[in-house]
Amino acid sequence: MLIFEKSRPGRGCSTLPACDVEVVRPKERDKRELKLHMPELSEVELSRHYTELAKKSHGVNDGFYPLGSCTMKYNPRINEEIAALPGFKEIHPLQPEHTVQGCLEVLKRSEEALCEITGMDAMTLQPAAGAHGEFTGLLLMKAYHHSRGDQKRTKIIVPDSAHGTNPASAAMAGYSVVSIPSGPDGCVDLKKLREAVGDDIAGLMLTNPNTVGLFDKNILEITDIVHECGGLCYYDGANLNAVMGTVRPGDMGFDVIHLNLHKTFSTPHGGGGPGSGPVGCKACLAEFLPSVRVDGEEVLRLTKAEHGIGEVKSFYGNFLVVVRALTYIMTLGREGITEASQNAVLNANYMMHKLKEQYQMAYDEVCMHEFVMSLSDLKKSTGVSAMDIAKGLLDHEIHPPTMYFPLIVEEALMVEPTETESKETIDEAVGVFRELYELAVKDAERLHNAPVSTPVGRLDEVKAARHPVLRYSFDV
Amino acid sequence: MELRAELKYSKSHEWVKEEGDIVVIGLTDYAQSELGDLVFVNLPEEGDEVNVGDSFADVESVKAVSDVYAPVSGVICEVNEELLDAPEKMNEAPYDAWLVKVKDITEKEELLTAEEYQAFVESEQD
Amino acid sequence: MGSYVPNTKEERTAMLSEIGFQSMEELFGHIPDEVKVKDGLKIPEGMSELEVRRAMKKIADKNQIFPTIFRGAGAYRHYIPAMVNNVISKENLQTAYTPYQAEISQGILQSIFEYQTMICDLTGMDASNASVYDGATAAAEGIAMCRERKRNKAFISAAVLPATLEVVKTYCFGNEIELEVIPEKNGVTDIEYLKEHIDTAAACVYIQHPNYYGNLEDAAAIGNIVHEAGAKFIMGVNPISLGILKTPKEYGADVAVGDGQPLGLPLAFGGPYLGFMACVGSMTRKLPGRIVGQTTDQKGNTGYVLTLQAREQHIRREKASSNICSNQALCALAVGVYLASMGSKGLENAAVQCTSKAHYMARRLEEIGFCVENQTEFFHEFVTVSEKPAKEILSALEKQGILGGYPLDDHRILWCCTEMNTKEEIDGTISILKEV
């Protein structure tokens, strides 16, 4: 039941005292006439409403969450407590500099650590999410080319296996997109890349490991090809959890990167956000970084880059998310960061190894932190699709892998166990996957009808999109 | 797959009906069945110019979007706004659910007859 | 060193050998040596939880917490009911990803549907998305959604938050929308200028209400001018003010955006906040980002799903109007809980207290020789001009634990009052200022 349906006129919570000064109200011209319909519930009803909503949700703490490309690792509790410290939470963003030295220290330390982990020279923490970081990074590239009087570079190369945000960000930054097909091994097709480069190319966007979970061994050659044509290389940090401490994007020839603190650096996803998408770059791009950065040793101060692209968001980014990420980095430290990545890769390979007896792997070789299965043979023989297997997992309280991505693999399921899952959890999940495979062969119909144990069954998405109901209607 | 003898067809799966100087364009039955349940159509505006081979509209299913290409060059003189509220018509009655009418025709791509289109679809499926 | 990897060294070795590897080095053996990190990362060693807590607490203690705040300028201190933090700390909600799997995400989806309804009701609009990053990016996205093939120019008032103007400029540098700033006149948007300069190339006009100086714009008049030119009218609004001020809908806006921070989110040195976006029904499919819709399952049960997804980047790719993927979902949840805790009366009360206290303080400041610059009606912010330098005034307050208004220049200060400021606090501040 919606909160509005539980509302009863006259009920409410006692939040504010009476006004202790003479009451002023807006004049006729600006007075609200439309009736407000905020819910009227007592505190106990309100509390139970949200407890009920929480019960109908599945977070990392509810069970295994191998959602490929999303890095659903455990969100450490200490991070939450640190982010709730009044010394961070109650600070106005426009306080004088000498009263926010602690906040500036958080920004400075975070920038230093993240630059070291990625092999970059400078970083902005202002972007609020990965896609926002992509947009920011592309604008750095645009500003760089323009500063050299080079306006003819109007295209960005994006592999066809890329996440949808890559081409969408390129378009927002005013670029047209050149999509290049992946080779049969899922990696960049060097021949196609060579054909695509030229003096109209502003740069290339790439993840490594790529979106099928493989490390592209030709990476130095790839970044060389782009640099030789005068373009820049953009690293999408979505998959950084595979290589932290082992490989740095900066050492692979990338000039600009974004990170997803809400993936790699353990901050919670919050049901879709807030995230944080810091953008790092090599020294040659630092003068174009947006907004302010922190400078100084004893006394910290905010400084603006000389030819910055401006602001991409208000203030200093999703600061409390950065606080959580810094807490995580300080906890893990030099060795822990590397250990996290190594075990993310170990868990993925272990799970892939156990599953490949039955499930068809899209690329049967050593993977990084995630792997992609193709269920197209299973679908042909049994009619059971990737979607059906995913829905079957829901009845076992496992969050399904990412479905139908990357687009270059048919009936794809993309599995990312992360390093914070134990061997037993993975073994159990493998057991469930096997059970579902057998069920697909024996009784496909049951999987077509899954899930059966969730608060609702499969929902009619066609109806939702054809005749959208996007809000509760108070008139009815 | 339903076909209508009186219509012409394009290789990008649009049907074309000539009504005097005006050309009516819609999606074929084959196209709608391949696309699945259609949930929305982005239509051009009256007065927009279209050219052979250009995308002039797109249709959305829940998880995909597909371009619709112009088999003729001319000026859009009417769009079927009814489809905005009832996109299901493109699935239920594809040959009644026209998308646009085009006038001032300056160019036409080589269109197929019903038999030719059927053969084309069959060859594509192989 | 701290660690969140459950498997012991022995277990890892066993797992490695089960898949045919002797060591981690061998597992990573396919990565070319040339790109590998040689001597480890140059960051400090890890720490235990207690050490990290001490270290971070020490950093937090370097910040000064002001018990009394008269500063807004884009970030507002309001009362946050206890319910808000309680709900957003619930792990099932906090640690979930985007609700792609609707069957196990009904709680989150329903909360977004409720949030969308509240934003629509607050603004008078027909459709709302599930949030964007903040008020400034909401303004930029709002402008982008009004763009049409033949209309590639946007007008923005100079009397908006500086951050909003800066972010809009950056987005326009990217998407190559032509941007023209409408100058301000006497603290409000220069309507005559707009009348003279708007033409058929204009896609939209953006104003903020109340504006940067707290002033109420003649929004209805601006709306008429915008619509006569066939452009869209976007209003950036303070959501608390909507408890008593006319809605964007009533002023004739097509799109309403704003920062949701005043609705239950802490100051937090600038974030995370939330951008809300709502619009009239005819523009629904132009909204960027996620949208939740109501539907049914096979048995007829009501349920909620992410819908109209074909607008978004994961389907439309480079043709999508926005690249937004992650939004500020947990902040949207906080906003929903805040509005439900306040109720219609509570929100109205908060708005009345904000404007009442601001007017009281403005009057008291005038009594002691400050000149209030606002020539029109204002909501909860106002500008004073004083002979004494702003710097001296603010530093005198700072010594008493009071964060005064935001200095606009050497002698002008932008003050803000909310329901958090008591009469006693205001009177005390006036006494201190009398001494300066």
Asked if C271 lies within 8 A of A252 by C-beta distance, the reply is no
What average pLDDT does chain B have? 93
| pLDDT attached to residue A138 | 98
Residue A306 has pLDDT above 90, yes or no: no
Element (H, E) at C428: helix C423-435
- Across A35-50, average pLDDT: 97
Residue A476 has pLDDT above 80, yes or no: no
E-assigned strand segments in C262-377: 275-279, 292-296, 302-306, 371-372
- Are C299 and A123 in contact by the 8 Å Cβ rule? The answer is no
- Are C288 and C324 in contact by the 8 Å Cβ rule? The answer is yes
A144: closest CA among A229, A225, A232?
Answer: A232
Of the pLDDT bands very low, low, confident and very high (cuts 50, 70, 90), residue C319 is confident
Whole-angstrom distance, CA of residue A440 vs CA of residue A384? 6
Superfamily of domain A340-461: Aspartate Aminotransferase, domain 1 (3.90.1150.10)
Look-up: residue for tokens 């608390």?
Answer: C240
Enter the tokens of residue A150: 């080079």
CA distance A192 to chain C (A): 20
- Across C362-377, average pLDDT: 96
Contacting residues of B for A404, CB less than 8 Å apart = 63
Whole-angstrom distance, CA of residue B26 vs CA of residue A196? 36
- Across B83-95, average pLDDT: 94
Q: Please report all neighbours of C, defined by 3+ CB atom pairs within 8 A.
A: A, B
Cis preceding linkage at C162, omega within 30: no
- Across A284-309, average pLDDT: 95
Of the pLDDT bands very low, low, confident and very high (cuts 50, 70, 90), residue A357 is very high
Contacting residues of B for C305, CB less than 8 Å apart = none
| pLDDT attached to residue B125 | 76
A249-277 in b/e burial notation, b at 16+ Cβ within 10 A? bbbbbbbbbbbbbbbbbbbbbbbbbbbbb
Contacting residues of B for C309, CB less than 8 Å apart = 62-63
| Of C60, C110, C426, Cβ closest to residue A85 | C60
Of the pLDDT bands very low, low, confident and very high (cuts 50, 70, 90), residue C274 is very high
| pLDDT attached to residue C318 | 86
A38–chain C Cβ distance below 8 A for any pair: yes
For β-strands A232-236 and A201-206, DSSP reports them as parallel
Provide the 10 A C-beta neighbour count for residue B115. 11
Asked if C315 lies within 8 A of B39 by C-beta distance, the reply is no
Asked if C309 lies within 8 A of B40 by C-beta distance, the reply is no
- Percent of chain C with pLDDT strictly greater than 70: 100
| pLDDT attached to residue A14 | 87
User: Is the Cα torsion angle C17, C23, C28, C29 positive or negative in sign?
Assistant: negative
- Are A387 and A376 in contact by the 8 Å Cβ rule? The answer is no
Whole-angstrom distance, CA of residue C315 vs CA of residue C325? 12
- Across C86-98, average pLDDT: 96
Asked if B62 lies within 8 A of A404 by C-beta distance, the reply is no
Residue B88's contacts (CB-CB under 8 Å, 6 or more residues apart) are A466, B37, B38
Whole-angstrom distance, CA of residue C252 vs CA of residue C233? 7
DSSP string across A234-283? EEEGGGGGGTTTTB-GGGGT-SEEE--TTTTT----TTT------EEE-H
C178-182, strands of its sheet edge to edge: C127-128, C275-279, C255-259, C232-237, C202-209, C153-157, C178-182
- Percent of chain A with pLDDT strictly greater than 70: 100
Whole-angstrom distance, CA of residue A393 vs CA of residue A64? 10
- Across A403-422, average pLDDT: 94
Question: Rounded to whole angstroms, what are the CA distances from A454 to A305, A449, C110, C292, C334?
Answer: 52, 12, 15, 19, 25
List residues bridging with A467 in a β-sheet.
none
C138-176 in b/e burial notation, b at 16+ Cβ within 10 A? bbbbbbbbbbeeebebbbbbbbbbebbbbbbbbbbbbbe
Asked if A466 lies within 8 A of B63 by C-beta distance, the reply is no
Whole-angstrom distance, CA of residue B45 vs CA of residue B79? 7
Structural domain B8-125, CATH architecture: Beta Barrel (2.40)
- Are B37 and A462 in contact by the 8 Å Cβ rule? The answer is yes
Of the pLDDT bands very low, low, confident and very high (cuts 50, 70, 90), residue C122 is very high
Of the pLDDT bands very low, low, confident and very high (cuts 50, 70, 90), residue A108 is very high
B14-19, strands of its sheet edge to edge: B8-9, B14-19, B22-27, B98-108, B72-79, B49-50
Whole-angstrom distance, CA of residue C245 vs CA of residue C265? 21
| pLDDT attached to residue C207 | 98
ipTM: 0.97
A469–chain B Cβ distance below 8 A for any pair: no
Please report, as a single letter, which amino acid is at residue A227. Answer: H
Q: Please report all neighbours of B, defined by 3+ CB atom pairs within 8 A.
A: A, C
- Across C312-339, average pLDDT: 92
Domains of chain C listed by start with CATH number: 9-60 (no CATH), 68-78+343-435 (3.90.1150.10), 82-337 (3.40.640.10)
Residue C238 has pLDDT above 90, yes or no: yes
Element (H, E) at C392: helix C390-399
| pLDDT attached to residue C234 | 98
Contacting residues of C for B64, CB less than 8 Å apart = 310, 315
Cis preceding linkage at C272, omega within 30: yes
Whole-angstrom distance, CA of residue C59 vs CA of residue C55? 6
- Are C397 and C404 in contact by the 8 Å Cβ rule? The answer is yes
| pLDDT attached to residue C316 | 85
A276: closest CA among A285, A286, A266?
Answer: A266
Asked if C315 lies within 8 A of B64 by C-beta distance, the reply is yes
User: Is the Cα torsion angle C183, C189, C193, C194 positive or negative in sign?
Assistant: positive
What average pLDDT does chain C have? 96
- Across C351-356, average pLDDT: 98
For β-strands A155-159 and A176-180, DSSP reports them as parallel
Of the pLDDT bands very low, low, confident and very high (cuts 50, 70, 90), residue A161 is confident
DSSP string across A350-414? HHHHHHTTTSPBSS-S--SS-EEEE-HHHHHHH---HHHHHHHHHTTT-PPPEES-STTSTTEEE
- Across A234-241, average pLDDT: 96
Enter the tokens of residue A203: 């740069």
- Across C221-247, average pLDDT: 98
- Across A323-329, average pLDDT: 98
Whole-angstrom distance, CA of residue A418 vs CA of residue A354? 16
HSE-up (13 A, CA, CB side) for residue C404: 24
Domain ranges in chain A are 3-62, 78-331, 340-461
- Residues A201-227: tens digit of each pLDDT: 999 999 999 989 999 999 999 999 999
DSSP string across C216-285? PP-HHHHHHHHHHTT-EEEEEE-TGGGGTBPPHHHHT-SEEEEE-TTTT---GGG-S--EEEEE-GGGGG
Tell me whether the CATH fold assigned to A78-331 matches the one assigned to A340-461: no
A155: closest CA among A232, A210, A224?
Answer: A232
Contacting residues of C for B60, CB less than 8 Å apart = 310
| pLDDT attached to residue C43 | 96
| pLDDT attached to residue A359 | 97
Asked if B39 lies within 8 A of A466 by C-beta distance, the reply is yes
Of the pLDDT bands very low, low, confident and very high (cuts 50, 70, 90), residue C37 is very high
Whole-angstrom distance, CA of residue A276 vs CA of residue A278? 6
The 3-state DSSP class for residue C180 equals: strand
- Residues C160-191: tens digit of each pLDDT: 999 999 999 999 999 999 999 999 999 999 99
- Are B16 and B25 in contact by the 8 Å Cβ rule? The answer is yes
Contacting residues of B for A462, CB less than 8 Å apart = 37, 39, 62
- Residues B57-71: tens digit of each pLDDT: 999 998 889 999 999
DSSP classification of residue C65: P
Of the pLDDT bands very low, low, confident and very high (cuts 50, 70, 90), residue A276 is very high
Residue C314 has pLDDT above 90, yes or no: no
Domain ranges in chain B are 8-125
Residue A473's contacts (CB-CB under 8 Å, 6 or more residues apart) are none
In this structure, whether the domain defined by A78-331 belongs to CATH 3.30.300.20 is answered with no
Enter the tokens of residue A330: 């300080």
- Are C131 and C275 in contact by the 8 Å Cβ rule? The answer is yes
Residue C141 has pLDDT above 70, yes or no: yes
Residues in chain A: 476
- Across B47-52, average pLDDT: 94
- Across A252-261, average pLDDT: 98
Element (H, E) at B22: strand B22-27
- Across C139-147, average pLDDT: 97
